[in-house]
Amino acid sequence: MLRPSGLKVIEGGVTAPLGFKAAGVHAGLKKEKLDLALLTSEVPAAAAAVYTKNKVKAAPLMVTREHLKHGYARAVVVNSGNANACTGEQGLRDARFMAEVTAAVLHIPVREVVVASTGVIGVPLPMDKVEAGIRAAAANLSREGGVAAAEAILTTDTCTKEVAVALELGGRTVHIGAMAKGSGMIHPNMATMLAFLTTDLRLEPEILQRALSAVTEKTFNMVTVDGDTSTNDMVVILANGLAGNASLSVEEHACFREALEFVCCRLARMIARDGEGATKLIEVQVYNAPSEADARRLARAVAGSNLVKAAVFGADANWGRIITAAGYSGAEMNPERVDIYLASRAGREQVAANGAGLPFSEERAAAILAEEEITIILDLKLGSARATAWGCDLTYDYVRINAAYRT
């Protein structure tokens, strides 16, 4: 999406807002890389979250959902390298112990601790390493620690994913910061990744929850890498109010939601671009659909089609795969009215009109598809609704990575 008016992209990631500190340490859950992150707020923060819809839910997610019922949190502890999923009662005890240790070292109530894990499913956590990691992270908290925290939550990701912005709301400059991880097991059904957002804006938990839920539908729920929805994943936002803003007007609430959507959209694109083995980002834009729900459904189907993803990898302008995915998406459409375009920095080429092929230039289309960011555009000509989804190409490396994930 376009940057909202008055919004400035700034440095700092998840610790850009006032009152937040973070740290990332190597606890020994992974061989060498950072694998435990801690994020804290100086004061209790309004909290909201969305969770995976997979019926198999990891222990940390269940503990976090229980803690956030009262709407406030002050710390987030995350480990990578082990999902603590499908680990039974021991897994629940371990997730609760992570919260207890975090609460003890920070001198805060246990219910103000968010717990998250990511990694291999079905393996118990080595709690001696986790506890030592939490204590080490607590001793290294700083405003500069966001980068290390963003690194510590990664699994098969090839890069960190951070965003921060500033804008004027309620008579004050307020900030939104974020970090995320996500590369595989990514499919739109919330949450499909881990993402942690912070803001120094003062908002009530109910308002924060409505904003996060609405924005998630347009951003994180429009990302697909491989069609697999994970067991652990969540998006959490904390708002600690330290910007000292006055109550927001209706217009300012809308501005905050736009800014939040901008941040989440940036993260969503980063996750899609960093899909396991990916060489290209695919953005699918659907225009003039009968409803937004139809536009979203169709965009997700095209972005998630393995045949479309493979064609993009090979720079093959096989538009038949695009309209086929649109047809099975379940969205309301008339195949005889659909126009299809391919676009990138190399140009724009229409490949179909009213559901039929055009004598397009194969050379120009191949040049478009050879770029690292590809846009597929579908004009349904049935209404005025639109939506955008993000995915990536399907490469040989995806199979290589996932054939040896545990080893």
Give catalytic residues, as residue numbers: 192
Cα-based torsion angle of the residue sequence 32, 35, 36, 41 in order, rounded to the nearest 10 degrees: 110
Query: φ, ψ for residue 275 (rounded to 5)?
Result: -55, 150
CA nearest to 298, candidates 320, 318, 317, 325 = 325
Residue for token digits 């067991």?
231
CA nearest to 184, candidates 265, 277, 305 = 277
How many residues in the chain?
407
Q: Which residue spans within 146-224 are E strands per DSSP?
A: 161-169, 172-181, 194-199
Q: 306-313 vs 319-328: helix axis angle to the nearest 10?
A: 160
- Token readout for 346 is 């190399």
CA nearest to 275, candidates 208, 138, 341, 181 = 181
Residue 79: is it exposed, middle or buried by C-beta count within 10 angstroms (0-12/13-18/19+)? buried
